Each structure stands twice: as structure tokens, then as C-alpha cells.
Amino acid sequence: MLAAYNTALIGIADGTVDDVADRIVEPGFDRRSDGFLVLAGDGLPVGYGTAFGRGDRQVVGIQVWSQKPTVADWLFEQTLQRAREMGRERGHAEITVDSDVYRADESLRALLADHDFTASTTYQRMRIDHTGPVATPEEPADVVVRRGAFDDATRWTAHEIIIDSFRGQLGFVARPHEEWIEYLEATASFDWSQITLLEIDGRAVAIRICNNEFVETENCGSIGMLAVLDEFRGRGLAKFLLREAFARDAADGRAGTILNVDTDNSAPALGLYLSVGMNPTLVSDGWCRILPVN
């Protein structure tokens, strides 16, 4: 159902069975109360909605998929109600509810606007194609490259860099460390060898987390997260991590490398990705609303 919905909008399924499975086993998601599946009389699914509370549930993400307007309306109300319940359970007077929507999904954009949501940020899916071998870049001077995160100390370090780099960005809520570990280990497209850290003078200052999210659907590598601590930006660390990922994906026979970027955040991320040869292929918007829980 989700593949048919996405294909009608953007021409590709943009997801796999593993992607759906990853969502419903994600720490913090309760399948008994946080997901809604609507079946037609013949037993086939015609709608799906989820509500996912982040952190102390002061931020809740909702998603709705249905080509039937009446079903989409019902799912929207159910997910909003579940979001309110999460806020009340944690004692909040109000919560932030957000939802990521393809720019092409006019009906869902209208539904959000009708419920007083506003578009607050834009996400670009970036891609670079690999038509042959890609040169591996030289490691930056005075930088030590650490590959893999197989021990507790390295995983703590990786998590701390992510929190420090994304703190304050719209929609980002830091997970407790053990929940972060559980989330990654439950993700079918990830393993700990896909984390790379850069160190300067013994301090970890940058991270890249790759995954196999787009291997099945597009034979592409994926960079799920790229971050450099503020005081170490402008040294070419992000470009090195990008170009090295491109070289590794090309050597593995991948058709390209894909990542998603928030183009409205404080860092000039879009310009960085354009400068290394990536191009936008898909646009989504992040919508949000402050919602009283009563």
C-alpha cells in the first residue's frame, strides 16, 4: 500500500518491507497504541498512520498515508489524538507535533494546512551517480580516521558528537544512550562497521553514519548522518567524509550515493553537497504545530 501511494506521487516506491519493520520495532513506538491500519472490506489495506513520541514526548511526529480522503482524515484525527495522549501522560500542557510530507503530496499538505500546521523546513534528497571508479581522497593532515564503533566507549563518543552537532535543530530530540543503541541495532539496514569518526589531537570531532537504506530500491549507498563539531568546520572534514563514501560506494558497485539534508538549518549544508557533485532529486517539507493536549 505504501509503495503504491509513493509511486503515485513521486514515481518510485521509496521504501521496503524492512523499512516498515524498522519503524514498528523502533524504541518508543508502541504497536498497540501508536499505529493505525485501515482495511477495506476485502481485507486489503487502504490507510496507515503512526504517532511517534520523541524524548519525553514533548515532540511527537505523525505520518499518514491513504489515497482515500475520508480515510486520511480519520487517520489524521487518530494520530493527533494519540499525540495529545502522549503529552498528557507526561504532564505537558502543550506539545509540538510535526510531519514530513513530499512536496508533491498536495492533498496531505492541504490537510495539514487545514489543521493549522505550517511548513517550517525543507528537506532535499541529494544524489551523486557513480559511472566508474571514484578516487579515494587523501586523509586531511593531522586527522586520525577511526572506522567502526564496536566498543562501548566509541559508541558513547559517536552519540555525543551527534547530540552536540544537532542540538537546537528543528525536530531534533536526543535519545537516551541505551535507546539510541537499541534503535540502531534494530535497524535492518545498519551495522556498527558503518560508523566513521575523525579525531584531531585525540578528540573525536566529526562523524559519518552510512547504511543500506537505498541498496534494495536504487542500488545506492546512503549517508544517514554527517556531522562536524562547530569549531572544526571549514577544515574540509565533511568533504573528506563525503568523497570517501562516494569512493567506497563506487568500489562496491553502487550506482550512486544518497543522503537527505535539512536545507533550512543553520549550517550551509546544501552548498556543501552541491560542491561535491550531488544534486537534489526529491523535495519534502517539515510541517509543525504547537498543540494543546486538552
Give the pLDDT score at 266.
56
Q: CA 276, CA 259: separation in Å to the nearest integer?
A: 13
* Class in CATH terms, 127-283: alpha beta
d(CA 29, CA 241): 32
CA angle 145, 233, 229 (to 5 degrees): 70
**Domain boundaries 2-123+286-292, corresponding CATH code:** 3.40.630.30
Query: At 271, which helix (H) or strand (E)?
Result: helix 269-275
CB 98 within 8 A of CB 286: yes
For 248, the enclosing helix (H) or strand (E) is: helix 237-251
Q: What per-residue confidence (pLDDT) applies to 211?
A: 98
Question: Across residues 164-176, what is the average pLDDT?
Answer: 88
Contact 20, 14 (CB under 8 A): no
Domain boundaries, the chain: 2-123+286-292, 127-283
Instruction: Answer yes or no: is pLDDT of 13 > 80.
Output: yes
CA distances in angstroms from 280 to 72, 105, 131, 171, 263, listed in the order given: 29, 18, 18, 22, 11
By three-state DSSP, how is residue 156 classified?
Answer: helix
* Residues facing residue 149 across a β-bridge: none
Say whether 127-283 and 2-123+286-292 share the same fold.
Answer: yes
pLDDT digit string, tens, across residues 28-47? 999 999 999 999 999 999 99
Confidence of residue 171 (pLDDT cuts 50, 70, 90): confident
Given a contact cutoff of 8 angstroms between Cβ atoms, the answer to whether 28 and 179 are in contact is: yes
- Cell of residue 169, nine digits: 535543530
Express each pLDDT in 222-237 by its tens digit. Answer: 999 999 999 999 999 9
% of the chain with per-residue pLDDT over 70 = 99
pLDDT at 170 over 90: no
Each residue's pLDDT tens digit, 89-138: 999 999 999 999 999 999 999 999 999 999 999 999 999 999 999 999 99
Contact 273, 123 (CB under 8 A): no
